[in-house]
Amino acid sequence: MHGLSFDIAHMLAGSLVLVSFLMLYQVRLTALLHALALHALVLAASVAWQAHIQDAPHLYVTAALALGFKAALIPWALRRIVFRLGIHREIETVGGIGLTMLAGMALVALSLQVMLPVTAMEDPVAREDVALALSVVLIGLLMMVTRRNAVSQVVGFLSLENGIILAATGARGMPLVVEISVAFSVLIAFIVVGIFLFRIRERFDTVDVGALDAFRGGRA
Amino acid sequence: MTLVWTALAALGVLAVLGVPLARRATGRWVVYGGSLLACLVLLWAGLAALDAPPETLVLPVGLPWTGAHLRLDALSGAFLVLIGVGGAGASLFAIGYGRHEHAPARVLPFYPAFLAGMALVVLADDAFTFLFAWELMSLASWALVMADHAPDATARAGFVYLVMATFSGLALLLAFGLLAGAQGGYVFAQMRAAHPAPWIAGLAFALALVGTGAKAGLVPLQVWLPLAHPAAPSHVSALMSGVMTKVAVYGFLRIVFDLLGAPLWWQAVLVLLLGGITAVYGVLQAVMQRDLKRLLACSTIENIGIVFVAIGLAMAFRANGIAAGAALALTAALFHCLNHTLFKSLLFQVSGAVLVATGTRDLERLGGLIHRLPVTAVAALVGCAAIAALPPLNGFASEWLIFQAVLLRPDLPQWGLKLMLPVDGALLALAAALAAACFVRAYGIVFLGRPRSEAAAAAHEVDRISRAAMLVFAALCALAGLFPGLVVDALAPVVQPFAGGRMPVQGGEDWLTLVPVDAARGTYNGLLVGVFILASAALTAAVVHRLGSRALRRAPAWDCGFPDPRPDTQYSGDSFAQPLRRVFGTLAFHAQERVDMPRPGDMRAAVIEKSARDPVWDLLYAPVGTLVARVSDAMNVLQFLTIRRYLGFVFAMLIVLLLALTVMQ
C-alpha cells in the first residue's frame, strides 16, 4: 500500500510540474486559461490524495476549495475578463519557447538539487512533494518574468500559488487556518488585479505592461 | 524612585498638554512652570540618591521577557542632579524668554519630552530602555532644533544632526549587542556579570566611544554640534550644550566603567588623545567665530574635550590600580561636567537675552551692551570668567583638579601613557589659555566699547524672570567656585565604586581648603582666593578712584584726545581673533587672508577677505558625502525599471540564493 500511495502522490505532483511546462508555451490567452484550470484540477487531485493517505479530512476542504475556486471560478472569471477586454484572439509573443523550456528544466533540476539533500531525514512523500512544489513555484515566477501581457502575469502568479499549496499540503499537520487564509489572500489578490486590469485598459487601451513602462519612462 | 517616576510622568503629561496649550499665553506658564517643578524634583531625587543604596524598578513595558528596568544609583543620581539643575534653569529662563517664541507649538510639546528623555537615559538599566530614551532625547532635540525652520542653515543643521544622531544610535546599538552576547542579556546587571572576550570588549569600547562621542561632540564627530546647538531657541541651546552633552558623557562612563569593568591602558590612550585634540580644536574654532551662539557651541566642544581628558586620566590610573589618581581624575571630570552645565547654561541664556535685546547674534553688530543691559552684563561677566577658568570661580576649581591629576606623574608602566600625559597637559594648558582669550573677546566685543549697530544702541533689558534665572546661575557658579570641597565630598560616593577609592575628605579641612591628594602636594582655597581678589580689587578701585579722580580736570575737547566717533574704528571681533587665526589657524584650518586694495585714485573701499577650511570636514565627511552621492546616483536608475525587470531581479536573486545553498551543501 505504501509503495502505491507514494507512486500516486509522486505522479500527481509530477503532473503538476508537467502542466506548468504546458503553460509556459501557451501563446493564446484562452488556451493559457484552460491550462490554468487543468493545473488547479491536478492540484485538487493531488491534495485530495494527500488527504486520503495522511488521513486528514480537513485537506478535503482544501481540495474542494482548489477545485471550486481555482479550477472553475477564477479561470471562468479570467476568461470573462479576456472576452470583455476583447483580447481572446490575441497571440502573445513569448519569444524563444525552446529557451524558456530549457530554463524551466534547469529550474526543476535546481529545485530537486536544493530540496532533496536538505530534507533527507523527512518522509519520502513530503520530500518529493516539496521538491516538485518548489519547481512549480519557480516556473510560475519564470512565466511572470517572460510574459508581457498582464493577464498572463496573473496566470503565472496563480500557478505559483498552486505550488505553495502543494508544498503546504505535503507537509503533515499544516493547520487548516493557514490554508484557508492563503486561499483567501489569493482571492483578494485576484480581485485587486482584476480591477487593475480594467483600469490599465481604460487608460492605455491595452493590457500590455510595456505601455505602463512607456508611460513611466516619459516621466523619469 | 517614586519621586523620579512622578516627575517623569509629569513631564510626559506636559508634553501632551503642550499641543493644545501652545496657542494660549498660559501655555508657556503651564509647560515651563511644570517643567521647572519636575526638574526641581529630579534635582532633589538625584541629591538624595548620591549616598543612598541603589534602587531598582522593573516596569512591565518594553522588550518582551525583559521589561523596562530602571535603576537609580549614585552615578545616575549625579547626572540627575545635572539634568535637574540645567533643566530647572532653562525652564525658569524660558518662562520669561518663551514670549519671544515665533511658533510656540513647535517648541512647547517637545521641550518636556526632551527633558524626560534625558532623565530616562540616566535611569535606564537595560539596553532597550537606554536606547529608547537615547533616541527620544535625540528626536525631541532634533524637533527643537528645527523649531525655527525658516533659514536654510537650520534645515541643513537639522539634517546633519539627524544623520549624526542616527549614527550614534547605531554605534550604541551595536555596542550593546556585543555586550549582551549570544544569550541576549540586555539587562545591565547581566552585562556586568558577563565577561566578554577581550576583542569583543575592545570592539564594544570603541563603539561606545564613537556612539557617545558623537553625541557629546568629540572630534572628529563634532560637525553637527556647532550647527545644531545655535539653531535651537536659546533655552534649548542651553539644555543641549549644558545638559545633553553630559548625558552622553554619562553613557560613556556607564558603559566603560560599569558595564565593561576595569578599563585597559590602550583605551585610556585613545580617550586621552581624542580628548586633547577635541579641547584644542574646539577652542580654536570658538575663538574665530563671529556668531555668539556658535562661539558658545564651539566652546562646548572644548569643554567636552577637557572632560574626556579627565576621564582618560581616570582610566589610565584605574588600569594601573592607582586608586587615588583615578578618584581625583574622575571627581574632576564629574565636577567639570557640573561646572560646564552651570556656566554654559548661563552663557546661552545671556546669548538669548542679547538676541532678544538686539535681534542679532553677530559679534560685529553688537557692542556697548553693558550700558543698556546692566544685569545681563554682570551675569555674563561671571559666566565668562568662570568658563575662562579664572579663580575664584568654579571653572578654575575643576580645571585645577584636572591639572593636579596630570601633574600627579606616578610611575605608569606603559610607554603610551608616559608619552601621552605630558602631551595632554600641554594641550590642556593651550586650550585653557585660548579659552581665556576667546571669552575676553566675546565679552569685550559684545558688552564693552561702543554699539556697532543701531539695534545694539537701542537695546533694552530682558524681562525679570529671565534676569533672575541668569543671576541664579551666576550665583551658583560663584558658590561652586568658592566651596569646591562640598561638591567634591558629595561626588565621593559616585566615584568610589568606579575608581576603587575616593579623594580625601574635604569637609574637615580648615577654611574649606581643597586637597586633591594630600596637603603636602598642593592645595587650593577658593574662599581665601576669592576674598583676596575681592579685597585687592576693591582696594585698587578705591585707590584709582581717589587718586585718579582727583587728577581729573575738565578741559575743552580737542580732537586729538577724542577718538573717531564712528564705531567702525573700534577693535572688532575679527581683529581680536586675527593674531590667533594667523598663528594657529594657518596650520589647523588653512586660514587665509586676502587684501583687495583699490588702485591709487580709486574711491572704493578696501576689502579684506578671510577664509578657513575645516580639516575634519574635508578629510572625513566630504569624501563620505561624495561617495554616498555617487552611489545613490548610480542606484537611481533602479527606481525607473520596468515591472518585468523588477520581477526578474527577484527571480534572479532567488535563483542565486538557491544555487548558493546547493553549492554550500
CB atoms within 10 A of CB B605: 8
Arithmetic mean of pLDDT, B501-519: 77
Confidence of residue B236 (pLDDT cuts 50, 70, 90): very high
Q: What is the pLDDT, as a whole number, of residue B640?
A: 74
- Chain A from 146 to 175: CB within 8 A of any B CB: 148
Cβ–Cβ contact B640 with A under 8 A: yes
**B114-123, B265-274, B403-412, B621-630: which range is least confident on average?**
B403-412
- Is residue B646 less than 8 Å (CB to CB) from chain A? no
| Chain A residues close to B660, C-beta within 8 Å | none
Decide if B660 is inside a domain: yes
Q: Which value, to the nearest 10 degrees, does the dihedral of the CA atoms of residues B224, B229, B230, B231 take?
A: 80
User: What is the residue type of A68?
Assistant: G
CA distance, residue B622 to nearest chain A CA (Å): 29
- Judge whether residue B125 has pLDDT over 70: yes
Burial class of residue A60 in the structure, from the number of CB atoms within 10 Å of its CB (0-12 exposed, 13-18 middle, 19+ buried): middle
CB-CB: which of A145, A212, A217 is closest to B648?
Answer: A145
Would you call B651 and A212 a contact, using CB atoms and an 8 Å cutoff? no
pLDDT digits (tens, 9 = 90+) for B79-94: 999 999 999 999 999 9
Chain B nearest-CA residue for A212: B642
C-alpha to C-alpha distance for B381 and B396, rounded to whole angstroms: 15
Mean pLDDT for B30-50 is 93
Q: Say if B15 falls within a structural domain.
A: no
Instruction: Give me the pLDDT at residue B195, please.
Output: 82
B377 falls within a domain:
no
Contact status, residue B139 vs residue B162, Cβ threshold 8 Å: no
Provide the pairing of β-strand B68-72 with B55-59.
antiparallel
Q: Is B654 on the interface with A (CB under 8 A)?
A: yes
**Min Cα separation B647/chain A (Å):** 6
> Quick check: A219 pLDDT over 50?
no
Residue A180 has pLDDT above 80, yes or no: no
The verdict on residue B173 lying in a domain is no
Q: Tell me the shortest Cα–Cα distance from A115 to chain B, in angstroms.
A: 9
Are residues A138 and B654, on separate chains, in Cβ contact within 8 Å?
A: yes
DSSP string covering chain A, please?
-HHHHHHHHHHHHHHHHHHHHHHHT--BHHHHHHHHHHHHHHHHHHHHHHHHHHT-THHHHHHHHIIIIIIIIHHHHHHHHHHHHT-TT-B-----HHHHHHHHHHHHHHHHHHHHHHTTTS-HHHHHHHHHHHHHHHHHHHHHHH--BHHHHHHHHHHHHHHHHHHHHHSTT--HHHHHHHHHHHHHHHHHHHHHHHHHHHHHS--BHHHHHHHHHHH-
Residues of A in contact with B664 (CB under 8 A): none
Cβ contacts of B642 on chain A, cutoff 8 Å: 209-210, 212-213
Instruction: Compute the average pLDDT of residues B242-246.
Output: 95
Helices B526-543 and B464-482, axial angle in degrees (round to 10): 120
- ipTM for the complex shown: 0.81
Partner-chain residue, chosen from A110, A141, A209, that has the shortest CB–CB distance to B643: A209
- Per-residue pLDDT band for B115 (boundaries 50, 70, 90) equals very high
Higher pLDDT, A25 or B246: B246
Evaluate if residue B331 carries a pLDDT over 80.
yes
Structural domain total, chain B? 1
Give the model confidence (pLDDT) of B173-198 as tens digits.
Answer: 999 999 988 777 888 988 888 888 88
Q: Is the pLDDT of residue B144 over 50?
A: yes
> In DSSP terms, which residues pair with B291 in a beta bridge?
B362
pLDDT of residue B561: 57
Decide if B127 contacts B115 (C-beta within 8 A): no
- Examine residue B181 and state whether it is found in any structural domain, yes or no: no
Q: Which helix (H) or strand (E) holds B55?
A: strand B55-59
- Predicted confidence (pLDDT) per residue in A88-119, tens digit: 777 776 667 888 889 999 999 998 888 887 77
pLDDT at A220 over 50: no
3-state helix, strand and coil shares in percent for chain B, rounded to the nearest 5: 75, 5, 20
Distance (Å, rounded) from C-alpha B178 to C-alpha B175?
Answer: 5
Give the whole-angstrom CA distance, residue B632 versus residue B639: 11
User: Does any domain span residue B640?
Assistant: yes
Three cell numbers, residue B606 = 578696501
Residues facing B375 on adjacent strands: none
Question: Contact A210/B647, CB-based, under 8 Å?
Answer: no
Q: Does A118 touch chain B (CB under 8 A)?
A: yes
Q: Is B643 on the interface with A (CB under 8 A)?
A: yes
Task: Provide the domain limits for residue B650.
Answer: 615-664
Domain assignment of residue B302, yes or no = no
Residue B417's SS3 state is helix
- Write out pLDDT tens, residues B225-235: 999 988 889 99
Average pLDDT over residues B27-31: 88
The answer to whether residue B440 sits within a structural domain is: no
